[in-house]
């Protein structure tokens, strides 16, 4: 049974916001070198908020390096010309 959204901890509900508070906009402008100390904190220019993208789960760098060298790995057998495993999709020119 899952827990209701209203009963979850507050820390788990942190999301990317598309509206920044004034001090956050000023900090972002400082990072972009668009803010000077003489500037007024009113009528601030718009600041783009970047959302963090989730990383895609892919093969590790070590496995890629081994595949390129012809070492052990999932892609090594296919690279050497070994037949595909049962239930695997056919290679180019195979049945569809």
**Degrees to nearest 5, angle at CA 60 with 55 and 63:** 160
**Averaged over 81-85, what is the pLDDT?**
57
- C-alpha distance from residue 71 to each of 28, 60, 61, 63 (Å): 47, 14, 13, 9
pLDDT tens, position by position, 14-45: 667 788 999 999 999 999 999 998 999 999 99
pLDDT tens, position by position, 57-75: 666 666 666 666 665 555 5
Identify the pLDDT of residue 50: 79
Neighbours of 76 (CB within 10 A): 16
CB 16 within 8 A of CB 49: yes
CB 16 within 8 A of CB 51: yes
Please say whether the dihedral angle defined by the alpha carbons of residues 78, 83, 84 and 85, taken in this order, is positive or negative.
negative
Tell me how far apart the alpha carbons of residues 70 and 79 are, in angstroms, rounded to a whole number: 8
Identify the residue with better confidence: 17 or 85. 17
pLDDT at 76 over 80: no
């Amino acid at each position: 049974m899952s827990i209701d959204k209203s009963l979850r901890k507050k820390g788990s509900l942190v999301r990317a916001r598309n509206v920044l508070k004034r001090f956050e906009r000023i900090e972002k402008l400082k990072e972009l070198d668009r803010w000077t100390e003489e500037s007024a904190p009113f009528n601030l220019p718009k600041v783009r908020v970047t959302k963090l993208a989730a990383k895609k789960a892919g093969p590790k760098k070590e496995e890629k390096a081994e595949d390129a060298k012809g070492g052990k790995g999932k892609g090594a057998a296919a690279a050497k010309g070994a037949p595909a495993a049962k239930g695997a999709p056919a290679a180019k020119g195979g049945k569809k």
